[in-house]
Copies of this chain bind each other. A is one copy, B any other.
Amino acid sequence: MSGPLSGLRILDLTRVLAGPYTTMILADLGAEVIKIEQPRIGDESRNFGPFKNGFSLYFMSINRGKKSITLDLKSDRGKQLFKDLLRQCDILTENYRPGTMKKLGLDYEALAGEFPSLIYAACSGFGQTGPLSEHGAYDMIIQGMGGIISITGEPGRPPVRVGTSISDITAALFTTIGILSALHQRNKTGKGQMVDVAMLDSLVAVLENAIVRYFATDEIPQPLGTRHPVITPFEAYESKDGYIIIAIGNDSLWERFCKHVGLETLISDTRFKTNADRTENHSELYPIISKKMCSRTTGEWIESLGEIGVPCGPINSIDEVVNHEQVKAREMITQVVHQLTGIVEIPGIPIKLSDTPGSVDKPAPSLGEHTDPLLMRFLGITEVEIEILRRERVI
């Protein structure tokens, strides 16, 4: 189905995760994304497992719906073709280490004069400015530097990473917002601009209350297991067959919970009267509730606590998530078909638009799959010329 960004064309130099995740969202929402890849090599994530019949499913999941052109940006002819393509595009995206595009002579400053309406989006580890700007970065390094690991995990235990590449992904989401904001501005004035997003900045931006807590109290926020820093009880307890998460956000829910589970005596207990009391005396409260919760299964608790309106839930494994009735009803697992892999299950679009919803219906491209048709269509290049470009390793 037609998406809200249909009619927009994006020239996409991004590789691996943060950049491709941005252009995946734009493609899902209807933009035409033309991915430029290095001839014969391509996006390095084409080599990331798991594979199906030799095709990377990692690559498939975040490059669905894009087109692939090979182009050697180091050659003069490649640069010229790049600019000729760019002339027909609205947005350029890249996630090279800062400095790389300048070396190619294709940085924003070099392009802005010739392409005044261009929106140029760069996503990098540390951003285009600052002392660490030109350092490389991986999600794991940024997770460590950005503080999120310091507040995730069990107190007193070794560090753990967030199980998904959260600094890549938050950077991708902020980059997408930056692009669409710049687009709105351009719709008013006709003028483009540069969007500069860093993975490190993005993690700082999502630390939310950890930052104000630190400045307000001078106490350094710590990992707390599954506990909420200022609401209690608001965490996971062992049940008879797994874990049950309970989220009791106010005193009336607390009373209802205590009565329901046979802990009435706690209601008048001065240690646990208000949320502040319960948080302060967490170490005394935790074992009391723990003892109670392990008497029933997770499913039994969800049913019984759900009936009285106490927010609670399970800890689902990935197989349970993808088979969950709500996840299915929301079409959050969808399929694409590729000639090499056959049917592949991938995540759906989490942005549900009522009128122009966009769609996930095309697989990721094979390397250079669209080189010939797009060069012909956009640049009027003949089959003979394409043959020469290929022989000269420009494409």
Q: Which residues of A contact B (CB under 8 A)?
A: 3-5, 7-8, 17, 21, 25, 29, 48-52, 57-58, 60-62, 108, 126-133, 136-138, 140-154, 157-166, 169-171, 173-178, 180-185, 187-188, 191, 193-198, 200-202, 204-217, 220-221, 223-228, 230, 234-236, 238, 243, 245, 247, 249, 311-322, 324-327, 329-330, 332-333, 344-356
Contact = CB atoms under 8 A, between A and B. Distances in A.
Contact of A234 (B29, B140, B182): B140
The 6 closest A-B pairs by CB, nearest first: A151-B163, A130-B329, A180-B180, A50-B216, A4-B185, A193-B355
Given A131-B326, A166-B166, A154 B158 contact: yes
B178 A353 contact: yes
Nearest to A357: B193
Contacts of A3: 181
Contacts of A205: 332, 347-350
B52 A208 contact: no
Contacts of A317: 147, 150, 220-221
Given A195-B351, A317-B220, A211 B163 contact: no
Nearest to A242: B159
Given A200-B326, A344-B215, A356-B193, A210 B161 contact: no
Contacts of A136: 311
Contact of A180 (B184, B209, B228): B184
A156 to B, nearest CB: 12
B211 A318 contact: yes
A345 B218 CA distance: 12
10 contacts: A29-B177, A50-B212, A50-B213, A60-B212, A61-B208, A129-B330, A152-B161, A194-B355, A201-B348, A205-B348
B202 A350 contact: yes
A201 B163 contact: no
A193 to B, nearest CB: 4
A350 B201 contact: yes
Contact of A164 (B58, B151, B161, B183): B151
A89 to B, nearest CB: 16
A188 B7 contact: yes
Contacts of A223: 160, 163
A133 to B, nearest CB: 8
Contact of A145 (B17, B158, B171, B316): B316
